[in-house]
Amino acid sequence: MSLLATASLVLTRAFPASEEVPFDDAGYHTEHWLFAPTWETIIASAASIIVFTAIYKFAGPTIKKAMSDRTAGIQAELDDSAAAKSDAEAEAVRIRQAKGDIDSERSRLYAEADAQATALLADGRERLDAEMAELEVRADAEIASAADRSADELRAEIARYSSDAVELIAQDALDDATQQELIESFISRVGASS
Amino acid sequence: MSDALIEGYARALFEVARAEATLDEVEDELFRFARSYESSDALRNALTDEHVPAEKRQAIVEDLLGGKATATTTQLVSMVVGSGRSRDLPAIVDSLVQRASSAKQLDVAEVRTAVPLTEDQRVRLRAALENSTGKSLNLKVIVDPAVLGGVVAAIGDTVIDDTVRTRIDQLQSRL
């Protein structure tokens, strides 16, 4: 039960006659069409004062503390929001900076890749040219070698066939008279030398 | 076969031939048989095949030389073949020829020709070689168709080569 209700009950008990308005033939009627009777007003006012005083006394610090806590909470939230905003702005700056760094890094990487690709291409072309030149030299040497080999083989073949041919011709030409002539020639020549 | 063994066989053959008083003839026949042995794969294989009994190899020798060589030559070759020394026959014969030449104080002149020499040619060739080298020579003539034509003579380390074969070889080298 609230304090106001308690006070009303006490006053009603203490002044029961106040509700009893003089009865006349026309029935009960209020003394004033707007205001309560004076004593009721006084009692009600006193009760109100008491109640509000009690409220102020007993509930005021709690309410005040609650309000203060609420204010502090709101302030903390505001501060957190401000800090978050600051952090967000810093993060945004960092991101923008990072984005800028990324852009510059990307540009640098692109430039570096272009340079490397160019160098690689130039190196590859140079190496290819060198290899081509070397291959050409080697091919020329091999062609020359093959030509020499072929010539040598041809000469050897010619020599072999010539030798075989000479041998066959010699065998045909070496009749008995020629054999005797060769023997006599040998005897004469050896005999002449001493 | 060791050199001592070859020398031993050669000395034995030499003494037999000299005792028989057919040294020159036997020496010449053995020399020619040795050269034939060297140049004929079939003869060499037949006489060195250990799966062929010794008697059969000796029979081959007697078939080859019988009537064409003196009995002493045939028996000496047969003895060498029968004793399983066929592989050393050329070395034994060469040693025998060397020994015979030394006994006669002659140097061996090995002559190869494509066709046989007449006796007159042999005499004149020996004289020519002796005149050229200043040595007394025991002439051993080998008929070797591989020389094609001409004559090649080897006296010790000295070689006088005037064969068609050598000329063809030189021509081939130049080519």
Predicted pLDDT of residue A152: 85
At A4 the pLDDT is 63
CA dist B108 and B126 (Å) reads: 11
Residue with tokens 């709690």: A62
CB-CB under 8 Å, B114 with A163 = no
Burial of B114 (0-12, 13-18, 19+ CB in 10 A): buried
Q: Indicate the burial class of A18 (C-beta count within 10 angstroms; 0-12, 13-18, 19 or more).
A: middle
pLDDT tens digit sequence for A123-166: 999 999 999 999 999 999 988 888 888 888 888 888 778 778 88
Tokens of A95: 């991101």
Distant-in-sequence, close-in-space partners of A174: CB < 8 Å, separation ≥ 6 = A182, B114, B148, B149, B164
Which strands, in side-by-side order, build the sheet including B107-113?
B137-143, B107-113, B150-155, B158-163
What is the Cα–Cα distance from B68 to B61, expressed in whole angstroms?
A: 11
Please indicate whether, in this complex, the C-beta atoms of B162 and A186 are within 8 angstroms of each other.
Answer: yes
> What is the model's pLDDT at position B98?
86
Sort out which chain A residues have CB atoms less than 8 A from B132's CB and list them. 190-191, 193-194
Cβ contact, residue pair B151, A182, below 8 Å: yes
Spell out which residues of chain B touch residue A186, defining contact as CB-CB under 8 Å. Answer: 125, 150-151, 160, 162
**List of chain B residues whose C-beta atoms are within 8 Å of the C-beta of residue A162:** 171-172, 175
Using a CB-CB cut-off of 8 Å, the residues of chain B touching A193 are 132
Q: What is the DSSP letter of A24?
A: B
Residue found under tokens 């009603």:
A12
What is the model's pLDDT at position B168?
Answer: 85
Quick one: DSSP state of residue B20?
A: T
State the pLDDT at residue B39. Answer: 85
Nearest one of B62, B60, B23 to B43, comparing CA atoms: B60
Q: Which residues of A touch B114 (CB under 8 A)?
A: 174, 179
- Which chain B residues are closer than 8 Å to A183 by Cβ? 113, 115, 117, 121, 125, 150-151
> Would you call B46 exposed, middle or buried from its count of C-beta atoms within 10 A (0-12, 13-18, 19+)?
middle
Q: Report d(CA A27, CA A12) in Å as an integer.
A: 22
pLDDT tens track, chain A, 194 positions: 466 667 666 666 665 544 455 556 666 666 777 777 888 888 999 999 999 999 888 888 888 899 999 999 999 999 999 999 998 888 888 888 888 888 888 888 899 999 999 999 999 999 999 999 999 999 999 888 888 888 888 888 887 787 788 888 888 888 888 899 999 999 999 888 76
A193/B132 touch (CB, cutoff 8 Å), yes or no? yes
Partner-chain contact A191 B127, CB within 8 Å: yes
pLDDT at B1: 58
Q: Which of B124, B153, B164 sits opposite A174 (nearest CB)?
A: B164
- The predicted pLDDT at position B119 comes to 92
DSSP symbols for A105-130:
HHHHHHHHHHHHHHHHHHHHHHHHHH
Report d(CA B130, CA B142) in Å as an integer.
18
Q: Does A193 touch chain B (CB under 8 A)?
A: yes
Contact A163 B125 (CB under 8 A): no
CB contact under 8 A, A179 and B114: yes
Bridge partners (DSSP) of residue B152 are B112, B161
Where chain B has pLDDT below 70, the residues are: 1
